[in-house]
């Protein structure tokens, strides 16, 4: 494995490759290649080889990639071969919807608590049974539940204060859905998802300003497909 820092774009593309390999595995495909992956899933074969080379040599000469082996390697690289316990901050519509998302559990992320400051919500639970607990017990909940990741799903004005509380409680990995840019802290990773920004990008496309005919059918399933 290379010793220099691996870019975030590279690790995000690994997640895309993993989804492709999962699809192949479910279809009974045993081996593949960068060219086959690129053709079937609209990827870049050279980029696939470059990204995988950052982490070792996974191909077999004359065979290509063994689908299940490569899938296992990527799972280990991404650190999702263990369960990560997640806490959601905000028991509103978005927070409750995220708590019910089955894809988290499938990929090794277990939502174990929802935290909220509204007294009327404390003591209730999501449809799948995730308890809603009080923000005043944040430190205790994180410690007792073994939470290592947090999702912020609160209004913009509360985003930074919630982030600060999480960092003070020892959380180093945060997924932010609050529509505000959060100040990062050393040793902490914050990834923000602003749904309005994505919709505005689509609006720009529909407005007619997007005039390149070669890109009229472009598809961006994830930012991870961008080049370094």
pTM: 0.83
Residue 221: band (very low, low, confident or very high) from pLDDT cuts 50, 70, 90: very low
Contact 89, 150 (CB under 8 A): yes
Rounded mean pLDDT of the chain?
A: 90
pLDDT of residue 6: 85
Domains and CATH numbers, the chain: 8-78 (1.10.10.10), 84-196 (3.40.50.720)
Q: What are phi and psi of 58, to 5 degrees?
A: -110, -15
- Give exposure, 157-181, as e/b (b: 16+ Cβ within 10 Å): ebbbebbebbbebebeebbbbbebe
Alpha carbons 215 and 209: distance in angstroms, whole number: 12
Got the DSSP string for 111-167?
EEEEEES-TTTTT-B-TT-PBEEEGGGHHHHHHHHT--EEEE-S-HHHHHHHHHHHH
Percentage with pLDDT > 90 across the chain = 77
Alpha carbons 30 and 166: distance in angstroms, whole number: 43
Tokens read off for 201: 């990008």
Could you read off the pLDDT of 33-80 as tens digits, one per residue?
Answer: 999 999 999 999 999 999 999 999 998 888 899 999 999 999 999 999
pLDDT of residue 64: 93
Mean pLDDT, residues 3-24 taken together: 89
Could you read off the pLDDT of 68-103 as tens digits, one per residue?
Answer: 999 999 999 999 999 999 999 999 999 999 999 999
Q: Nearest CA to 16 among 51, 58, 56, 65?
A: 51
pLDDT of residue 214: 45
Could you read off the pLDDT of 128-169 as tens digits, one per residue?
Answer: 999 999 999 999 999 999 999 999 999 999 999 999 999 999
Q: Nearest CA to 87 among 47, 137, 37, 46?
A: 137
In this structure, the number of other CB atoms found within 10 A of the CB of residue 58 comes to 15
**150 exposure class (CB count in 10 Å sphere: 0-12, 13-18, 19+):** buried
Beta bridge partners of 199: none
pLDDT of residue 90: 98
Mean pLDDT, residues 216-220 taken together: 50
């Amino acid at each position: 494995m290379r010793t220099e820092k691996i870019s975030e774009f590279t690790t995000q593309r690994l997640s895309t490759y993993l989804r492709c390999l999962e699809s192949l595995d479910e279809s009974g495909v045993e081996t593949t290649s960068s060219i086959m992956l690129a053709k079937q899933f609209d990827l870049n074969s050279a980029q696939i080889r470059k990204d995988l080379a950052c982490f070792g040599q996974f191909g077999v000469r004359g065979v290509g990639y063994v689908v299940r082996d490569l899938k296992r390697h990527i799972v280990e690289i991404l650190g999702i071969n263990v369960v990560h316990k997640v806490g959601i901050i905000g028991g509103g519509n978005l927070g409750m919807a995220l708590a019910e998302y089955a894809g988290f559990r499938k990929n090794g992320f277990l939502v174990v608590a929802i935290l909220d400051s509204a007294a009327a919500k404390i003591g209730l639970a999501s449809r799948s049974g995730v308890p809603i607990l009080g923000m005043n017990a944040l430190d205790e909940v994180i410690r007792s539940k073994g939470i290592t990741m947090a999702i912020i799903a609160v209004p913009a004005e509360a985003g930074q204060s919630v982030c600060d509380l999480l960092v003070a409680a020892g959380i180093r990995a945060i997924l932010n859905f609050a529509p505000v840019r959060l100040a990062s802290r050393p040793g902490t990773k914050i990834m923000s998802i602003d749904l309005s920004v994505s919709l505005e990008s689509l609006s720009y496309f529909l407005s007619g300003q997007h005039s390149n005919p070669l890109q009229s059918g472009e598809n961006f399933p994830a930012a991870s497909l961008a080049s370094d």
